Amino acid sequence: MTNTLLMRTVAHKGARMTFGSLKGVAVATALTMALATSSAHAAGGGVTVEAQDWSFSGVTGHFDKAQLQRGFQVYKEVCSSCHGLKFLHWRNLGETGGPGFSEAEVKALAAAAEVQDGPDDEGEMFDRPGLPSDSMGSPFANDAAARASNNGALPPDLSLIAKARGVTRPGLPIAPLNWLRDIISGDETGGADYLYGLLTGYPENPPEGFVLSEGMNYNTVYEGHQIAMAAPLSDDAVEYSDGTPQTLQQHAKDVTAFLMWAAEPKLEERKSLGIRVMLYLLILSALLYLTKRSLWSRLKH
Ligand code: HEC
């Protein structure tokens, strides 16, 4: 199912509950109807974000390991100078369903980070190389230091950003269809679509007549269109070793996939469990039906 042309309205919101892979067969038909109807709608008012194709969307969605590794590289080489990932630990980078770095690679990545520890016997704090069990932390000692380096703006921690941002799509004419569509599609890639839109949404110049405050940058999808973060990515911002094209769009896609994994490292597990649960329920229903038939068949009409 591709819905690349679907335009969605951006909404800043907390993580939304998705029913993920528990998608009923019966409602699938309604989904097809609902999506068909919604793609005809251009987003009314507000900002629009274009839906992208993601390997992790849908019932059988999974992360592309090579993409996560490239995304991590983009995060490390570009974003990590301003943004932290404090809910992620170095060892997570080696877990299944993620970028899949080897144990030695994880150790080396952790060791390259300096971590403050202590106090030692003299009561002094000291720096030591990071361990796989350390949090990936934040580049700044505290929020005030982060603001001081960024013209007063706070670069948010990115651990959960892919879930903390999302989109709402234009309403369908029949209210229950919205409800069905949201359960089925879960809008679970809305956060990723938004992040991609944000990172690729820096036109050379703001539209004519738009008054930009000092030190701010125009962005097509950010709320109010003024963001303190300057365009962080460009073509060739990061050198890939696997021959993947080093375009701005590719960098944005890769880092977005990585941030999606960071926000939900167990996505693959959740989806495959969902499929198994659905299969189990289907088989159980068939068996119950057969049992019911054989029990009632003994009754004379
Ligand atoms: C030079 C510092 C700097 C770099 C490098 C940087 N950012 Fe930011 N970022 C900021 C600041 C500052 C803000 C807060 C913007 C504001 O409040 O207007 C921000 C905000 C954000 C937001 C939040 C947008 C929202 O909807 O609230 C995201 C997401 C983000 N950055 C992602 C990234 C990614 C991904 C990278 C790497 C490709 C990156 N940033 C690189 C400074 C930076």
* Burial class (CB within 10 angstroms; exposed 0-12, middle 13-18, buried 19+) of 224: exposed
CB-CB contact of 84 with 138 (8 Å) = yes
Q: What is the pLDDT of residues 240-252, one digit of tens each?
A: 999 999 999 999 9
Of 116, 106, 105, 176, give the one whose Cα is nearest residue 141: 116
**Is the minimum distance from the CB of 150 to ligand 1 under 6 angstroms?**
yes
Q: What is the pLDDT of residues 107-131, one digit of tens each?
A: 999 999 999 999 999 999 999 999 9
**Is the minimum distance from the CB of 253 to ligand 1 under 6 angstroms?**
no
Angstrom distance (rounded) from CA 273 to CA 160? 22
> Is the pLDDT reported for residue 185 higher than 90?
no
Other Cβ atoms less than 10 A from the Cβ of 123: the count is 7
Distances (CA, A) of 74 to 67, 79, 163, 247, 254: 10, 7, 19, 12, 8
pLDDT of residue 30: 44
Other Cβ atoms less than 10 A from the Cβ of 298: the count is 6
In this prediction, residue 11 has a pLDDT band, given cuts at 50, 70 and 90, of: low
**Is the minimum distance from the CB of 234 to ligand 1 under 6 angstroms?**
no
Name the token pair of 192. Answer: 């990723």
pLDDT of residue 300: 75
Of 293, 285, 255, give the one whose Cα is nearest residue 54: 255
Q: What is the mean pLDDT of residues 200-227?
A: 94
Q: Cα of 229 to ligand 1 centre, how many Å?
A: 5
Amino acid letter at 216? M
Q: What is the pLDDT of residues 58-92, one digit of tens each?
A: 888 899 999 999 999 999 999 999 999 999 999 99
